Chain A
Amino acid sequence: MHYQSLAISDPAELTFGLAPKPVTTRSGMVIGGGTVYPELNFTLPPIAVDAGTMPEVRRNYEQIIEGALRRAAELEAPGVVIEFETLPPMTEHPAWGLEIVKVLLEGLQREKDRSGLKGVLRMTPNDNREFERPPLMRHGRYWDAMLELFEGGAAAGAELLSIESVGGKELHDEALVNGDLAASLFSLCILGERDMRFLWTHLRKIADKQGVKCAGDTACGFGNTAMVLAEQKMIPRVFAAVVRAVSAVRSLVAYECGAVGPGKDCGYENPILKAITGFPMAMEGKTSACAHLSPMGNLAAACCDTWSNESVQNIKLLGGMAPTCYMEQLVYDCRLMNTARSHGKESARQLQRWLVESDVATDPQAFIISPESAVELARVIVGSDSHYHAGAAVARKAVELLRGAHAKRGLRIAPNELVWFDSMQNTLDELPESESEFIARQLALADRSRFLPEEYGLEG
């Protein structure tokens, strides 16, 4: 493994606002340098995105950036991260995406000129590669358009590059509904790892050429899909929690390829990654209830460096347009964390404990990303000799931690989920030691109509 030791080995140090390797933006924000910044993300109300509607689309983004930044400045935010997560047509037609990048950068500059508000734009092109079924991961029009958008956005001034990459997802959805941990490992640690390495090697080249930063990736399409399915009682929460732990092995690859943070907000595996890499991380929780439920609304903030709302539609609320209202909420959340830190280490530590304790015993998915669990899981990952072995080892450790916490009455787990511990353990016990043997076994089981092994550098 690229990382063979931990950047943060004490759970108390895995805390909000501080990262051993902070990221400094052109505007002077130091993310991970002692201040938590709000990170706002937003999307359109129900309108189609096409050539005919682009003027309306543009007006929406102008309204969003103007209102949200004005509110941030009024509330004296120390700085803001604006995330532009493109919609599929904006990646497919890079010119449309770049038009909006320009709108947002101009908005940031205007507010800086007006009030001095510091800001940075994170650009997250939607990964369109899965529009092809089976997906073409390394070439084709979707790949080309996505890279064109990254390059154009970086050249225009989007300083942080991110993506919710989808490599391996074409098999992982089925792994989730089947409760198949071995298939999940194959998707995340074999296919996902290979795709991330290919993708982020390209993104690193773009970032270096344009003088911007690779920020980070997320296992959103994997871990968060599991989280939502668990919430709908389709799959057990303990299974989703173990998948989350394994997903860290996949997301880590971005940092192995040169990403420096802040990690992407919806990567709930980020505490594990922060412990390994020392880079700052975006997190989301209670203030992203506009986008989806999470069972760790407070705990997720315990080690955040930017605090995000995930996404909100540009619709009118009583307090203003929704993105403006959510900026306000984020600023206040951050203000509390920054005030705690301004009172010294012990105060920050106290708030971190409260954030953790308020959620940690209520759900296995919260427990598994608590600072204590995150450090233990991170240690297992860096002690492994390959991503496959790291995935298997971190899954074993996750099962062990969850079982132990439940046995000590430190974690509530529904009685009908307990049988899943043995089931997952059996799966892990039956995994072959050899990665090539594992790949051959999973390839024989996988639905070949859904994916192309050669797109992951595997022999069919």
Chain B
Amino acid sequence: MNELHPLTQAIIAGRSKEIAGLINQCLAAGEKAESIVENRLVPGMMTVGEKFKRNEIFVPDMLIAGRAMKEALKILEPLLVNPDSKPEHSAVIGTVEGDLHDIGKNLVAMMWRGANIEVIDLGVNVRPARFLEAVLQHKPNLLGLSALLTTTMPAMRNTVKAIRDAGVAVKVVIGGAPVTQEFAREIGADGYSPDAGSAVDTAMALLNGKACLAGQDKDVHALPIPGHL
């Protein structure tokens, strides 16, 4: 088995203080910035994502690795040919009207960002009209709706209706403790995530044009890559 490059290891372990020195060593050895990103940093974050997926590490570990990745990108960005490349996909997310529970929504936003999806977070207690306004403004690929209370599930229905009535082409994913796949189907959502951990799979399946509500697509193994947290 090939031993990982020290920079890759530093990313995985989240050792931010070592990043600058290790990058300078790579550059001094003649390695291009693009190569450092592709061959040293991304494999590190892929490993972090895989470890999280296998329940070997926790969200705080991912965030620490993500901070090390940020540190690395801060140094390398001026040297990259195309430093401003934007994520391919985007999402608007929020907790529906009448509900203020947001830790689940925040985790989904974090996971999606980790999967290189640009996320616009509208916060909590978001009215259907505000969701529609944001969708029209940002034209995202995904719309994520969260609710924790049974009594705010109707607000989820109203939001989906507002989006559908406006004829906007956006994939709607819903989640939260009282929400079910059956409810998602009933209100016309495109996807349902039982928890934050599976929200990336659901998003990727929808972005790849797969139907999600018949059951979770087991072929999809998109990993959270928290380099963009």
Contact = CB atoms under 8 A, between A and B. Distances in A.
Contact of A46 (B58, B63, B107, B151): B151
Contact of B149 (A87, A232, A233): A87
Interface in B45-68: 55-61, 63
Contacts of A43: 149-151
A176 B58 CA distance: 11
Contacts of B150: 43-47, 313
A177 B106 contact: yes
A130 B151 contact: no
How big is the A interface, by class? 20 to 34
B103 A49 contact: no
A232 B195 contact: yes
B87 interface: no
Contacts of A205: none
B150 to A, nearest CB: 5
Contacts of A292: 177
Nearest to A88: B98
B178 A89 contact: no
B155 interface: yes
B153 interface: yes
A177 B63 contact: yes
B76 interface: no
Contacts of B110: 177
Interface in A37-88: 43-49, 87-88
Interface string A271-315: 000000000000000000000100000000000000000000100
Contact of B154 (A48, A173, A229, A234): A48
B58 A235 contact: yes
Contact of A131 (B59, B63, B125, B197): B125
Interface in A196-248: 225, 229, 232-236
A233 B154 contact: no
Nearest to A231: B195
A416 interface: yes
A133 interface: yes
Contacts of B99: 88
Nearest to B55: A233
Question: Chain B CB within 10 Å — which of A43, A46, A133 has the most?
Answer: A46
A133 B123 contact: yes
B103 A46 contact: no
Contacts of B59: 177, 179, 229, 234-235
B151 A179 contact: no
Question: Chain A CB within 10 Å — which of B56, B57, B151 has the most?
Answer: B151
B63 A49 contact: no
Nearest to B153: A46
Nearest to B98: A88
Nearest to B155: A48
A24 interface: no
Contacts of A313: 150, 178
Contacts of A131: 100, 124-125
B196 interface: yes
A178 interface: yes
B154 A46 contact: yes
A49 B106 contact: no
B151 A233 contact: no
A45 B150 CA distance: 6
Contact of B98 (A46, A48, A232): A48
Contacts of A128: 100
Contacts of B178: 46, 313
A44 B153 CA distance: 11
B102 interface: yes
A131 B155 CA distance: 16
Contacts of B125: 131
Contacts of A46: 150-151, 153-154, 178, 183
A89 B150 CA distance: 13
A237 to B, nearest CB: 10
A179 B124 CA distance: 23
Interface string A9-50: 000000000000000000000000000000000011111110
Given A45-B150, A133-B124, A177-B63, A233 B98 contact: no
A153 to B, nearest CB: 19
Contact of B151 (A49, A173, A177, A229): A49
Contacts of A173: 102-103, 106
B122 to A, nearest CB: 11
A48 B151 contact: yes
Given A45-B150, A177-B110, A89 B98 contact: yes
Contacts of B100: 88, 128, 130-131
Given A131-B125, A232-B196, A47 B151 contact: yes
Interface in B137-169: 149-155
A180 B63 CA distance: 11
Nearest to B156: A46
A203 B197 CA distance: 40
Contacts of A87: 149, 151
Given A177-B63, A178-B63, A232-B197, A416 B106 contact: no
Nearest to A423: B60
Interface string B177-216: 1100001000000000001110000000000000000000
Contacts of B124: 131, 133
Contact of A178 (B60, B149, B177, B197): B60
A87 B59 CA distance: 31
A43 B177 CA distance: 14
A272 B165 CA distance: 54
23 contacts: A43-B150, A44-B151, A48-B152, A48-B154, A87-B151, A88-B99, A88-B100, A89-B98, A130-B100, A133-B123, A177-B63, A177-B106, A178-B63, A179-B61, A225-B103, A229-B103, A233-B55, A234-B107, A234-B196, A235-B58, A292-B177, A313-B150, A416-B58
Top 7 nearest A-B pairs (CB, nearest first) are A179-B60, A46-B153, A48-B154, A234-B59, A46-B150, A173-B103, A233-B55
Given A179-B58, A232-B195, 10 more contacts: A45-B150, A48-B151, A133-B124, A177-B59, A177-B60, A180-B60, A232-B196, A232-B197, A234-B107, A235-B58
